[in-house]
Structure 1
Amino acid sequence: MKVTERLKKLRALMAEKNIDMYIVPTADFHQSEYVGEHFKARKYITGFSGSAGTAIITMDSAGLWTDGRYFLQAGKQLEGTTVKLFKMGEPNVPTIEEYIENTLSSKGTLGFDGRVVSMGDGQAYEKIVKGKDGSIKYDCDLIDDVWKNENRPPLSEKPAFALDIKYTGESTTSKLERVRKEMKNSGANTHVITSLDDIAWLLNIRGDDIEFFPLILSYVIVTMDELHLFINEAKLSDEIKSTLKENGLTALHPYNDIYDAVKKFSDSDVVLIDPARMNYALYNNIPENVKKIEKQNPCVLFKAMKNPTEIENIKKAQIKDGIAHTKFMYWLKHNVGKEKITEMSASRKLEEFRKEQEGYIRQSFEPICSFGEHAAIVHYTSSPETDIELKEGNFFLTDTGAGFYEGSTDITRTYAFGEIPQIMKDHFTITLQSNLHLAHARFLYGCNGMNLDIVARAPFWNNNLNFNHGTGHGVGYLMNIHEAPTGFRWQYRAHEVHPFEEGMVLTDEPGIYIEGSHGIRIENEILVCKGEQNEYGQFMYFEPITFVPIDLDAVNPDLMTIQEKAWLNKYHKDVYDKISPYLSEDEKTWLKEYTREVK
């Protein structure tokens, strides 16, 4: 069924239920950034496959809101669908809330599945609708009514697996103590946790319910002396259940029983809830008379600050991935132009190298392997229909990651093949300068990503250039590859402005994208560390933990300062020292050349 036919069926259902406007976000019941196949309703109804976006359908129009990463991709995928693209953050483009305010008629009805809309968004929509003397219907999954006739994928039934304390560095018992301490400090005696990564961190388990992301569909209720887990019990082995019980689990409940469980909260319960992570339907099931404390789930910050065991493991994972990437770069440089290599076959080859590393589990997100003009599409995903051959004269961008038991990686490299135009070298060098400047930032404790983003963008802005995405994001430990509450971005985003804390791991990934020509991104992971403390305060710095060569074939040294060259040379010395012991003699000789000093 085509998108236009699906929209027609959806509108028939809207008319049947007297719904004037219907919202379809990109979310599951847990406000996850990436979702399992069952939850890809927005993709189904619009045809846009990116990881972020919200669709709004009325009886005579349909719109798709997405961010700068996906402007090019969405523009292509929405062609012929009748769905209009709204480029978020661009001039004269209304926000979702503004569009609802301006488009929903007086006394109109707004509909959505409240399980996939966040509590915060739902309340914002509620306020707008109330001002129009309208109504909300949040108990209708109209997409399912259309999709079930096309065999909507079922919920995942894949088993969970435990993460040993040699990887986590902390038991669930200890983590619960910390959570309960924060609950007490907040004045709460009950905490409903709905975010999958926070539950995985707390319980030291992982799953396979979302492609690439080792998470498991579940909910948790923590009280001062009990722990209740809502999950498909068949996913848990007897060993996992035993370990959870030893670490404080009170009872297991069926996954969807969470909705009835919160209805039973009483006047004596003071419930801590995270508005950004709880869904609107679940929130509305909590009795009105129950006192609620709206605050960020304490697990969010706890898990972002990696403990010494996690840091040691993450560094091991980075070395493993550095070996795989270096072998991959060697293979590319020796074979492009001599044999047919495409975006997809190159991606498979990189995964082959990763699979050679002990402890490899899976890719940590959908690989972005894009050649030439495809690389200008920030989150491009190659397919059999778009797969093209790598040739000389342009760039090949790979933004990929690996999930090891020792942690997750996220690495982007851009490779040049043959002779490339001078403008491409200049763009590559500006991107490299940006990466190096952020990696070597020194700052006082209390700074966040908005404070430091200009350090990265200065080389671009000085040349009247820019890139339309964040400069970096937090990285989870065998978890979400994008992890709150910190990132680098010049625009304000509430979930990314927490000060940098020791032990946080972030990406440093500036880029440039020239539509129809080329795209460049260079990404390393960096660890937040404490520096000197003196009369001025606590100084902080970043430690690069990714070790993969920067392609010197694409660098224009004439644009670089003496300090920038020294930074690059030091980095390449570290790459050679750490990676070369794991290479063949031919690979070592080649790596020596590709990590040579730039003068």
Structure 2
Amino acid sequence: MCIFASNVKHLYNVIMEQSIKERIASLRGLLSENNFSAFIIPSTDPHLSEYVASHWKSREWISGFSGSAGTVVVTLEKAGLWTDSRYFLQAADQLEGSGITLFKDGLPETPSIIEWLTSEMAVGSTLGIDGKMFSVSDVEEMKNVLSKKNIAVETSLDPFESIWIDRPLMPQDPAFIYETQYSGVSCLDKIAQIRQKMEKVDVESLLISNLDEIAWALNLRGRDVKCNPFVVSYLLITDKKTIYFIAPEKLTADVSEYLSTQQVEVRGYDEINSALNELTASSLLINPARTNYDVFSAVNPSCKIVRGSSPIALLKAVRNEAEIAGIHAAMIRDGVAMVKFLRWLEMAVPTGHETELTIDEKLHEFRAAQDLYMGESFDTIAGYKEHGAIVHYSATPESCSVLKPEGFLLLDSGAQYLDGTTDITRTIALGSLTEEEKIDYTLVLKGHIAIATCKFPYGTRGAQIDVLARHALWQRGMNYLHGTGHGVGHFLSVHEGPQSIRLNEVPVLLVPGMVTSNEPGVYKGGRHGIRIENLTLVCKDVETEFGEFYRFETLTLCPICTKGIIKSLLSDTEINWLNYYHQVVFERLSPTLNAEEIAWLREKTLAI
């Protein structure tokens, strides 16, 4: 830990214990006033986003747990937090002394939230939720299950309007235009594509709540959510109109004029419910998993609701030529920043002055110097030694470790550029390694290469190839609990669907133009964590008598640390892939580096 970290952490825990318990007591008082027996607080916002503006970080405020995923349940006597394996260690630490029990989601022995509530709530009691924070699907399932226990669900209360005294304001930064030179397709043309998809499923109108889908459709970006260039808003597309619901103060004169030229009508953000209540279209397409229950409940009863996926999801997931060219250019600049950083890191660690936090600041400095840089795409994860085993570790002044010339540093980071979004993980040997560390590192690398080199026929889904990344680990009795790959947006969200590579089935085909991460890993609590991540592009490979086959083109350009590799555990094919990848990295990055940096990169990309 950093200097004085243990004392500071103790003081922090005492303060937070008092504060969190007081906040929960305030919530319980409000529940009693409304005759509620329990209340559920998720991590999302009215747009069901993964990352949310400070105004909606109610779960973090009530619990002190700062991870991006988790749900708190408070009854009149008990409280619990459900979160997944990425945050088990972090949650246990941050909940200490709060009176909130950690429920490790995904483990066989862990009850679901509804299972737990049915055992805790009396027959005839009422569960409270804020309907704006839950999807239609979630609320309907909740009501269906709890009604069998004669437990009611009330969706109208937002307790944080009254108990969160210093609650941050809703985001107020202005929107800005995303130029067609980066998006590749104009807003008018995108709306036309969307309407064609609507016509195919025979619907007259479409409600879009997802902030990334709205940003993509309108070619608008903003600064409402940290690391995500979104504008808090709603979009309603009918066969004749496009209506954008946004707070008026977020519209500059340029954006207002632009929306007018794109035939987009503007109304206030708070007018969405009244507009849906007045909707005269005969049918409305919504995604019940991505639309909040409060908005859904406002739809005019005479309008037929059609449930289905938004057509924007797949349109957005398949990159056009301009976007593909942009991401290639962004990868070169990001690779240059990473090379400059890794070279600096190698010289800086032996001084004994660098921590998990200071290296994050240095990495930011190198990226910010690149053209078209717009910020980080997520908070950097810099986990040294045992901290690397915390999948979404977030270093703090109290927890940060001083880096030493030994063991592994897991560094997961990314940037937003106007022409693309990056996400890269490197596990870096800072010095001597144990045999266990070397074996684990090599097995993870084998899994990474297995995905990078695989070819697959049309009709393949991510779940069908996920095993390739895990096979070498499974043979040694090891595994990881997160997905192997997620979609990545184009100057949008770093986590984007609908495509993915993971064990559980997602019925979305991998098709050319999709960008997906490739990031197997292994994590051993108290020892080390290892992950190697590149972004990939699905491309056409060959067409045979058996149909079309696809492959992954690796997009990320950055040397993979070779110090931890046990060469005898790699096949000739795996060695050849690594050597070729490093040759490409050197050829594409060296023209924009100085002589010292070129010499360093040449050494790091030598064939093994």
Indicate yes or no: 2:299 matched with 1:286.
yes
Render the CA deviation track for 1:237-287: whole Å, top value 9, x for unaligned.
2122212211121x2111111011111124x52011111111011111113
**Match of residue 235, structure 2, among 209, 220, 226:** 220
**2:482 maps to what in 1?**
469
Which range moves more in the overlay, 206-215 or 336-345? 336-345
- How many Å separate the matches in 1 of 2:147 and 2:473? 45
**Match of residue 569, structure 1, among 562, 572, 579:** 579
**1:382 maps to what in 2?**
395
- How many Å separate the matches in 2 of 1:245 and 1:253? 12
1:114 maps to amino acid: G
2:331 maps to amino acid: Q
CA contact (8 A) 1:97 1:124 kept: no
CA contact (8 A) 1:108 1:132 kept: no
CA contact (8 A) 2:352 2:402 kept: no
Indicate yes or no: 2:443 matched with 1:430.
yes
Indicate yes or no: 2:332 matched with 1:334.
no
**1:108 maps to what in 2?**
125
**Match of residue 143, structure 2, among 110, 126, 142:** 126
Question: Does the C-alpha gap of structure 1 residues 248 and 524 become closer, same or farther in structure 2, counting only changes over 3 Å?
Answer: same
Residue 96 of structure 1 deviates from its aligned partner by: 2.4
- How many Å separate the matches in 2 of 1:507 and 1:101? 39
CA contact (8 A) 1:24 1:55 kept: yes
- How many Å separate the matches in 1 of 2:381 and 2:83? 18
**Match of residue 245, structure 1, among 260, 280, 285:** 260
TM, length-normalised to structure 1: 0.97
CA contact (8 A) 1:11 1:59 kept: yes
Residue 110 of structure 1 deviates from its aligned partner by: 1.1
- How many Å separate the matches in 2 of 1:159 and 1:398? 32
- How many Å separate the matches in 2 of 1:176 and 1:420? 54
**2:514 maps to what in 1?**
504
Secondary structure of the residue aligned to 2:272 is helix
| % same residue | 38
1:338 maps to amino acid: T
2:276 maps to amino acid: V
**Match of residue 337, structure 2, among 296, 317, 324:** 324
**2:160 maps to what in 1?**
143
Which range moves more in the overlay, 572-581 or 330-339? 330-339
Residue 587 of structure 1 deviates from its aligned partner by: 1.4
TM, length-normalised to structure 2: 0.95
- How many Å separate the matches in 1 of 2:494 and 2:277? 34
Indicate yes or no: 2:249 matched with 1:234.
yes
- The number of residue pairs the alignment matches comes to 591
Q: Describe how 1:78-477 pairs up with structure 2 within 5 A.
A: 78-148=95-165, 151-249=166-264, 251-266=265-280, 268-477=281-490
Residue 491 of structure 1 deviates from its aligned partner by: 2.2
Residue 590 of structure 1 deviates from its aligned partner by: 1.5
- How many Å separate the matches in 2 of 1:462 and 1:128? 40
Render the CA deviation track for 1:42-84: whole Å, top value 9, x for unaligned.
1111111110111111111111111111111111111111111
CA contact (8 A) 2:499 2:509 kept: yes
Q: Which runs of 4+ in 1 moved over 4 A?
A: none
CA contact (8 A) 1:45 1:143 kept: no
Residue 339 of structure 1 deviates from its aligned partner by: 4.8
Which range moves more in the overlay, 220-229 or 101-110? 101-110
- How many Å separate the matches in 2 of 1:100 and 1:260? 34
- How many Å separate the matches in 2 of 1:512 and 1:184? 46
Residue 566 of structure 1 deviates from its aligned partner by: 0.6
1:72 maps to amino acid: L
- How many Å separate the matches in 2 of 1:310 and 1:402? 16
Secondary structure of the residue aligned to 2:539 is strand
CA contact (8 A) 1:118 1:275 kept: yes
Render the CA deviation track for 1:539-573: whole Å, top value 9, x for unaligned.
11100000100111121112111111111101111
Which range moves more in the overlay, 232-241 or 304-313? 232-241
**2:605 maps to what in 1?**
595
- How many Å separate the matches in 1 of 2:117 and 2:580? 53
Which range moves more in the overlay, 502-511 or 268-277? 268-277
Indicate yes or no: 2:18 matched with 1:8.
no
The two structures, once aligned, show a CA RMSD in angstroms of 1.2
- How many Å separate the matches in 2 of 1:100 and 1:438? 41
Q: Describe how 1:20-35 pairs up with structure 2 within 5 A.
A: 20-35=37-52
Unaligned runs of 5+ in 2: 1-17
